[in-house]
A and B are shown apart, each in its own frame.
Chain A
Amino acid sequence: MLDKPASALRIRERLIESERLMEETGCYDGITELSLRNQDPLKFETLHTKLRAYCVSAREMARRISASPGVREVGEMVVAIYTPEGDAIALSNGIMVHVHTMSRFIKWMIRQGYEENPGIVDGDIFANNDAFIGTVQVPDVMDVVPIFHSGKLVGWAGAVCHELEAGGITPGGDVALAQERFTEGLFVCAEKVGQNDELRRDYVIRCERNLRMPIYWVLDEKAKVASCIDMRESVKALIDEIGLDYWMKISKEFIEEGRRAQLARTRQLTVPGIYRGHTFYGHVTAGKPGYQPLGDPDWLYNMPIEMEITSGGKIIMDFEGTQPWGYHSMNCTPAGMDGGMFVTLTQHMNFEGLVNDGAWMATELKLPHGTWTNPDNEMVATATSWALLLPAYGVFQRLLSRSFIARGFVEEAFVGQVNSPMIEMGGTSQYGSLFGMAHFECAAAGSGALAIKDGLDTAYVGWNPESDMGNIEIWEQNMPMVYIGRSIVPNSGGAGKYRGGCSFLSTWLVSKTDHLRLVTSEHSSRVFDNGGMCGGYPAPTCQKHRAVRGSNIFELAEKGAPLAHHTGTNPHRSELEVRLQGEHVTMEGPYITAPHKTGDVFTHSYNGGGGYGDVLERDPIKTASDVENGYLTREAAEGIFGIMLDEDADGYPVANIEATKRHRAEMRAKRLAQARPVSEWIAKERGRVEKADFAPEVKKMYASAMKLSPRFTKDFSTFWNVDAKSAFGVE
């Protein structure tokens, strides 16, 4: 055990020493023995719980300062306490994505010599939203303050809020139209934005003059600073109580314990070996207004992931074979990839709450240089990183789940997440003022199924473990649209023995404005963005947008005639077309179009999760209840699951067990008759592969992957027994 009281070293030297010790000993900061824990385990646990309580309490207090419904309603915030070197000791609940991204931000400032210039002194406030320094995307703005005690730097307090408006080329935070960094909005690049516990007036003025809705950003800044000061003062009081040397030792032991706990948990819950999976994402922008011709307009992304669980319990994720970065907003930095890993791990393996950067240290990400996971160009846009992050970490959830199933912890298996598409807007508000906002009801999509039950309906997203769609009335206060419907979408979960959770669709009437820009992001086109598991199907996640311009809704309302409240279940003719007159719009891909005005109707649907297990094993009784409650249609019950429903005396669906058995036997026989040996299929498909007889976007996807990855090329060539490079014209 190396004993390091508050170090006399400059902080940059201390960071380098800490990393060297980790390299040499394999333990965080060279802590090979948890001596304080061994001396007094109860005190150890009590102090860690206290730190966590400081964080949780600071976050709850700060949410009341914020003006943003994203933070107040949905909880898009996290706070944490760090070591002087920037490693997370304890964190609150909330968007835990940012615990390690903030760590990268602090370390970046230390490495850049901030101790000399601009200086790090008591009362300073530093802010950042540059993903190449340490965050996920522009709207994730973080603030940190140093904690000094007895004149020495003894830690940091940090806070992140997701901003609903970032001042980019399109309104909102996840700036969908950004194709380069220069259109993403207001950047704050590891900047000292305050001194003596106060935000600088010139920084606030910059925010006020560069954002469509500065009240969100500026009050979030105040909320974050308040939470940081609250945590700082709590830590200082704790140090007064336990002594500075004790604090310096125990804060690091917490992290080493976190690292060991993660490794132990992996050995307890999983099985060592290699796990593989993949997913896809389609991006369709051809012909849409605003897109600059910087690259191909339509993209198909493949995301293959290989996860290794080593005999020591380390989890290694390798993204070899995925696509290059592109001129779109969906690229991700290593900090963002860390964030995806961290938030997934905290949900799936660290649910007891005492989690910190130690868990991250027990994992490794292999992010091929030049791909969307690790761009070799720092000018790329990352404003909608989640578009690719969510599918990627949905695969991670399925891979982990395979390991839980193998080990017997079936209750932890969880098919995972899909994208939670987002709608953002700006223009003239219902009050006649300039406004801009991201609508965060997307924080309550459907989850993937579990291995023992159906997924969660309208109650899950990967990036915020405390899902909440917010109250309709609050959203209506903040935008010039009123809800005319918020409905569960039947069959939106992937089918399976256990179905994926269903999602919902909102239908709005544009109200009291003549200029409302609506933009959507993070929804895949032409392909599903994630899968099912163990025989379950993927959820249908390539929904289009439907709108009506200049509708006759006010006339209908005046006459008391029925209105459209959702799009319905006929994919060929929506309820909007049935009920409303006007200019009907169906749009694939990002919704980027001319401004809307009062009387227009717009719909946006979120995604459900993938299914688990063979559909022919689904419980008929539960299915009857699903049909009654609108989670499944009768058509799906019979056609997909083979479940025959009758009606009771009151007209409610009831399962006909005998008819179901007969129907399922027929379906199984049909399956066996239709299926052919995989070897036959491979032999036939090989001819198509050899000729590269695919859509242009598919061909381009293969060629791009092959250019970047010899391993992908080799695996592809070996599987099909073809010369892949020659087939796809790769030099």
Chain B
Amino acid sequence: MTSYSKEVIADLVAGTLPWPQTRRVMSAYKDDDRFFKYVAVLQDRVGWKDPILLPVSDHLFICQSGDERVTRCECGHSFGDYRKNWKLNASIIVRNTEETLREIYPNSDLPDPEWMEIREFICPQCGTMHEVEAAAPGYPIVHDFEPDLEGFYRDWLGKPLEPMNKES
């Protein structure tokens, strides 16, 4: 069975594993013990103790926080119950003028702000940009991911989560 050390996984996640080795990881049969090593690597990276249950973006993690499961930024900021759309508790910058779009696209033709705007979802604590939506004005904010967290741990990983004590 394919398996890699935690150090190799850490380098892979950081984008620092040399390309020839990365290429071999991509081509080889997948390592079935990846998930928990991956979570351990991420747990070392964050500055807080709440156990990470599932990464959902580059710096966003669902974690166990006391009796609750919340979506947390790498800086520690909580966006609330993981079943709710974390974006609704984020901060936002909307680029819907030629001037603000030009800041990101200095050399190309721009979208028509009447047809499309760029929405940047930002952590209100550390300023990390977690997600960008390109959407028509008026388009509802997307709830990107609703994982079947309990089913995943129970049926796919064979390690059921402790039941939550209360509904958030």
Q: Are B103 and A671 in contact (CB under 8 A)?
A: no
8 A Cβ contacts from B71-122 to A: 87-94, 103-112, 114-116, 118, 120-122
B119-142 to A contact mask, C-beta < 8 Å, 1/0: 011101011111111111111111
**Is B44 an interface position by the 8 A CB rule?**
no
Give B30's nearest chain A residue, CB to CB: A268
Give which listed residue, B13, B121, B134, B146, contacts A273 with CB less than 8 A. Answer: B146
Q: Are B146 and A674 in contact (CB under 8 A)?
A: no
Chain B positions near chain A (C-beta within 8 angstroms): 9, 12-13, 15, 17, 19, 22, 25-27, 30, 32, 34-35, 37-39, 54-59, 87-94, 103-112, 114-116, 118, 120-122, 124, 126-149, 151-152, 155-156
| Residues in chain B near residue A639, CB distance under 8 A | 103, 106
| Residues in chain A near residue B54, CB distance under 8 A | 271, 406
- Can you report 5 residue pairs joining A to B where beta carbons are below 8 Å apart? A452-B13, A498-B15, A528-B116, A538-B132, A570-B107
CB of A165 to closest CB in B, whole Å:
30
Q: Are A668 and B140 in contact (CB under 8 A)?
A: no
Contact of A273 with B152 at beta-carbon distance under 8 Å, contacts A490-B107, A635-B106 already known: yes
Q: Are B115 and A695 in contact (CB under 8 A)?
A: yes
User: Measured between alpha carbons, how far is A543 from B105 in the docked complex, in Å?
Assistant: 12
Q: Are A411 and B22 in contact (CB under 8 A)?
A: yes
Q: Are A272 and B26 in contact (CB under 8 A)?
A: no
A258-292 to B contact mask, C-beta < 8 Å, 1/0: 00000000011101111111111010000000000
Majority-rule SS of A interface residues: mixed
A286-310 to B contact mask, C-beta < 8 Å, 1/0: 0000000000000010100000000
| Residues in chain A near residue B137, CB distance under 8 A | 688, 694-695, 698
**Is A569 an interface position by the 8 A CB rule?**
yes
Contact of A528 with B143 at beta-carbon distance under 8 Å, contacts A633-B106, A677-B91 already known: no
Q: Are A614 and B128 in contact (CB under 8 A)?
A: yes
User: Measured between alpha carbons, how far is A271 from B147 in the docked complex, in Å?
Assistant: 7
Q: Are A716 and B133 in contact (CB under 8 A)?
A: no
**Is A189 an interface position by the 8 A CB rule?**
no
| Residues in chain B near residue A408, CB distance under 8 A | 9, 34-35, 37-39, 55
CB of B60 to closest CB in A, whole Å:
8
User: Measured between alpha carbons, how far is A528 from B116 in the docked complex, in Å?
Assistant: 8
| Residues in chain B near residue A701, CB distance under 8 A | 136
User: Measured between alpha carbons, how far is A409 from B32 in the docked complex, in Å?
Assistant: 10
Q: Are B58 and A497 in contact (CB under 8 A)?
A: yes
| Residues in chain B near residue A155, CB distance under 8 A | none
| Residues in chain B near residue A86, CB distance under 8 A | none
**Is A11 an interface position by the 8 A CB rule?**
no
Q: Which of A271, A278, A633 has the most CB of B within 10 A?
A: A271
Q: Are B148 and A272 in contact (CB under 8 A)?
A: yes
User: Measured between alpha carbons, how far is A530 from B134 in the docked complex, in Å?
Assistant: 8
User: Measured between alpha carbons, how far is A262 from B1 in the docked complex, in Å?
Assistant: 19
Q: Are B115 and A526 in contact (CB under 8 A)?
A: yes
User: Measured between alpha carbons, how far is A646 from B136 in the docked complex, in Å?
Assistant: 39
Q: Are A534 and B145 in contact (CB under 8 A)?
A: no
User: Measured between alpha carbons, how far is A410 from B57 in the docked complex, in Å?
Assistant: 11
8 A Cβ contacts from A406-454 to B: 406-412, 451-453
CB of A89 to closest CB in B, whole Å:
23
A379-394 to B contact mask, C-beta < 8 Å, 1/0: 0000000000000000
Q: Are B140 and A720 in contact (CB under 8 A)?
A: yes
| Residues in chain A near residue B9, CB distance under 8 A | 408
CB of A170 to closest CB in B, whole Å:
23
| Residues in chain B near residue A147, CB distance under 8 A | none
Q: Are A540 and B105 in contact (CB under 8 A)?
A: yes
| Residues in chain A near residue B124, CB distance under 8 A | 672, 675, 677
User: Measured between alpha carbons, how far is A186 from B143 in the docked complex, in Å?
Assistant: 44
| Residues in chain B near residue A675, CB distance under 8 A | 91-93, 120, 122, 124, 127
Q: Are B30 and A409 in contact (CB under 8 A)?
A: yes
CB of B109 to closest CB in A, whole Å:
5
Give which listed residue, B34, B56, B109, B126, contacts A402 with CB less than 8 A. Answer: B56
- For the complex with contacts A410-B12, A527-B134, 17 further pairs of A-B residues with Cβ separation under 8 Å are A271-B54, A272-B152, A280-B116, A280-B134, A405-B56, A406-B147, A407-B34, A408-B37, A411-B25, A491-B105, A528-B116, A534-B131, A535-B132, A540-B108, A676-B92, A682-B141, A715-B140
Closest 4 interchain pairs by CB?
A408-B38, A675-B91, A719-B140, A540-B108
CB of B95 to closest CB in A, whole Å:
10
Q: Are B145 and A406 in contact (CB under 8 A)?
A: yes
CB of A509 to closest CB in B, whole Å:
23
Q: Which of B88, B90, B112 has the most CB of A within 10 A?
A: B112
Give A701's nearest chain B residue, CB to CB: B136
| Residues in chain A near residue B115, CB distance under 8 A | 280, 282, 300, 526-527, 695, 697-698
User: Measured between alpha carbons, how far is A366 from B38 in the docked complex, in Å?
Assistant: 34
Q: Are A526 and B22 in contact (CB under 8 A)?
A: no
CB of A458 to closest CB in B, whole Å:
16
Q: Are B145 and A275 in contact (CB under 8 A)?
A: yes
User: Measured between alpha carbons, how far is A20 from B96 in the docked complex, in Å?
Assistant: 54
**Is A185 an interface position by the 8 A CB rule?**
no
**Is A94 an interface position by the 8 A CB rule?**
no
Q: Are A453 and B15 in contact (CB under 8 A)?
A: yes
**Is A211 an interface position by the 8 A CB rule?**
no
A663-682 to B contact mask, C-beta < 8 Å, 1/0: 00000110110111111011
Give B108's nearest chain A residue, CB to CB: A540
Give A636's nearest chain B residue, CB to CB: B106
**Is A689 an interface position by the 8 A CB rule?**
yes
User: Measured between alpha carbons, how far is A276 from B140 in the docked complex, in Å?
Assistant: 12
User: Measured between alpha carbons, how far is A646 from B117 in the docked complex, in Å?
Assistant: 34
Q: Are A698 and B107 in contact (CB under 8 A)?
A: no
